[in-house]
Copies of this chain bind each other. A is one copy, B any other.
């Protein structure tokens, strides 16, 4: 498969797969070197021109970890179709209220009951550096950078 898709088609493919999956697992490196992951909502609203955006509170462990060791991973799994995506990138905290309002979705109230007025609300922006995906038991395509 890696031979038949162009770079743009690969990016398109990853974007499509992620769009179908509501949640990714965000893995960060803790101060002691251990790796922790947690589910994060993509809001089905994946603006995947190289960036993933997650809503979070700014004062949380995952943000501390992502700002100390910037490199993170987000994995997406769709077992019923045997689709798996690994996205490697660097994390950045964005507190811009305009961007927060632009990306806000009502479903996020489950985690942030005060909505965009929640003072600690922020965005964790993942600058994607490489992505890999698997479809079926063995095929996979990897591509790097310039996404």
Within the complex, which residue of B29, B86, B110, B138 is in contact with A25, where a contact is CB–CB below 8 Å?
B86
Contact at B75–A37, with CB atoms within 8 Å? yes
What is the chain B residue whose CB lies nearest that of A22? B79
What is the chain B residue whose CB lies nearest that of A80? B80
A72 within 8 A of B: yes
Q: Majority SS of interface residues in chain A?
A: strand
Contact at A71–B33, with CB atoms within 8 Å? yes
**Once bound together, how far apart are the Cα atoms of A90 and B80, in whole Å?**
29
A119 within 8 A of B: no
A122 within 8 A of B: no
Within the complex, which residue of B39, B132, B134 is in contact with A36, where a contact is CB–CB below 8 Å?
B132
Within the complex, which residue of B38, B78, B84 is in contact with A132, where a contact is CB–CB below 8 Å?
B38
A111 within 8 A of B: yes
Interface of chain A residues 69 through 108 with chain B (CB within 8 A): 69, 71-73, 75, 77-79, 84, 86, 88
Contact at A35–B132, with CB atoms within 8 Å? no
Q: Can you list, as one digit per residue, whether each of A118-132 has a CB less than 8 Å from chain B (1) or not (0)?
A: 000000000001101
Q: 3 shortest A-B CB distances, which residue pairs?
A: A35-B73, A25-B75, A37-B86
